[in-house]
Amino acid sequence: MTIHGPGPNDTAKNTERLKKTIRNKEAAEIAMEFADGEELAAIKKKNERREESIDGLRAEILAEAKSRINGYI
C-alpha cells in the first residue's frame, strides 16, 4: 500500500486557478441576466464564494512573490 502525502506547492498553479476563477465569475454574472428565483440565488452565493477565493489567491500570490524577493523560495 502506498501512502500519498501532499505534493510540492506549485506557485504557477495559483495563477492559473486565479484566472480560471475570475473567468467563471464573469461567466456566472452573464448567466445571472437570464436566471431567476432559486437559480439566481445559487449563482449569487457561488459568486460570493468565488470572490473570497479570488481574494485569498491574490493574497497568496503576493506572499509568494514577497518570499521570492526575500530569498525564502
Q: What is the pLDDT of residue 11?
A: 72
Burial class of residue 5 in the structure, from the number of CB atoms within 10 Å of its CB (0-12 exposed, 13-18 middle, 19+ buried):
exposed
pLDDT tens per residue across span 1-53: 567 766 666 777 999 999 999 999 999 999 999 999 999 999 999 999 999 99
The predicted pLDDT at position 50 comes to 98
* Alpha carbon distance 59, 67 (integer Å): 12
pTM for the predicted model, two decimal places: 0.78
